[in-house]
Amino acid sequence: MPDPTADPRHVFVYGTLRRGERNDIAHFLPRPDYVGQGRLRGLLYDLGAYPGAVLGGETWIEGEIYRITGEVEAALDVLEEVAPDGSGEYLKREVPVESQGRMLICLVYEIHPERVALKPVIACGDWRERRGPIS
């Protein structure tokens, strides 16, 4: 479990945690600070109601970067079903993310590779572009 008193960290979000989406990260408390748009290398998969990223490769995944507290990190771990033994739906990683010409080390929730078998890839790398306008 993350330490709620730890220094703020950055998180990269690429799906339902983005602004205006159903799990908008702005609804978490203390409210995360928006840092900017970001992107990282990986493949984005369409899992129906949400996407899942597998890190690495040559294509880009688009998203947003936020500064979060340990309290918010703990809440995100629960939402993303991170398990200490790696068996959860998502795996929490710390990776460099490109943002406005610089690299920031960010937490990224990577879908467990077993969860994307036979799922379609979102070739554009952007959940919003694939899903269409928010209704």
For residues 76 and 11, the answer to whether their CB atoms sit within 8 Å is yes
pTM here? 0.91
CA distance 89 to 103: 27
Query: How do residues 38-76 score in pLDDT, each as one tens digit?
Result: 999 999 999 999 999 999 999 999 999 999 999 999 999
Residue 131 lies in a domain: no
Range of the domain at 26: 9-126
Residue 58 lies in a domain: yes
- Predicted confidence (pLDDT) at residue 88 exceeds the cutoff of 90: yes
Residue 134 lies in a domain: no
Residue 71 lies in a domain: yes
Nearest to 6 by CA among 30, 23, 34, 35: 30
User: What's the average model confidence in pLDDT over 99-122?
Assistant: 95
For residues 18 and 24, the answer to whether their CB atoms sit within 8 Å is yes
Residue 29 lies in a domain: yes
User: What's the average model confidence in pLDDT over 108-125?
Assistant: 94
Structure tokens at 86: 């790696």
CATH of the domain at 119: 3.10.490.10
Residue 84 lies in a domain: yes
Nearest to 46 by CA among 77, 14, 21: 14
pLDDT class of 2 with cuts at 50, 70, 90 = low
**Cβ neighbours of residue 77 under 8 Å, at least 6 residues apart?**
1, 2, 92
Residue 20 lies in a domain: yes
For residues 25 and 32, the answer to whether their CB atoms sit within 8 Å is yes
Residue 2 lies in a domain: no
pLDDT at 120: 96
**Would you name the residues annotated as active-site residues?**
80
pLDDT at 129: 84
pLDDT at 131: 61
- Work out how many domains the chain is built from and give that number: 1
